[in-house]
Amino acid sequence: DIQMTQSPSSLSASVGDRVTITCRATQSIATNLNWYQHKPGQPPTVLIYAASIVQSGVPSRFSASASGTEFSLTISSLQPEDFATYYCHQTFGFPFTFGQGTRLEIK
């Protein structure tokens, strides 16, 4: 199975901060990498698909990039509604796998 190592596992930040979350795959997954946001009491929602394509309706402060087997999600200026858990998800190799999640908390 392709393992996705996501870091950090938790992150404390303030409104207005710029934060980056990283996922590293144990082998090449091309650009088959998605990022989801999960808030308590709500379904997870897709933010980014195909490594860097921002899903329609997602604020422009969210961006993502890829370099080899390392993938990054960046929030340029944290807003109160961004405090949530974020997951990466590879859809290159079966079984598809997820990162462990990053819990983004308010400092």
Could you list the residues that contact another protein (CB under 8 A)?
Answer: 30, 32, 34, 36, 41-46, 49-50, 55, 87, 89, 91-92, 94-101
CB of 71 to another protein, least distance (A): 14
CB of 54 to another protein, least distance (A): 12
Query: Which of 78, 89 has the CB closer to another protein?
Result: 89
CB of 83 to another protein, least distance (A): 19
* 58 phi, psi to nearest 5 deg: -85, 135
Taking the CA atoms of residue 44, residue 66, residue 104 and residue 97 in that order, the dihedral angle to the nearest 10 degrees is 50
Query: Which of 28, 77 has the CB closer to another protein?
Result: 28
CB of 32 to another protein, least distance (A): 5
Query: Which of 17, 46 has the CB closer to another protein?
Result: 46
Residue 44, both tokens = 């997870």
Whether 97 contacts 4, CB under 8 Å = yes
The answer for residues whose C-beta is within 8 angstroms of residue 1's C-beta and 6 or more apart is 93, 95, 97
- Provide the phi-psi class of 80: left if phi over 0, else alpha when psi is between -120 and 50, else beta: alpha
Query: Which of 32, 74 has the CB closer to another protein?
Result: 32
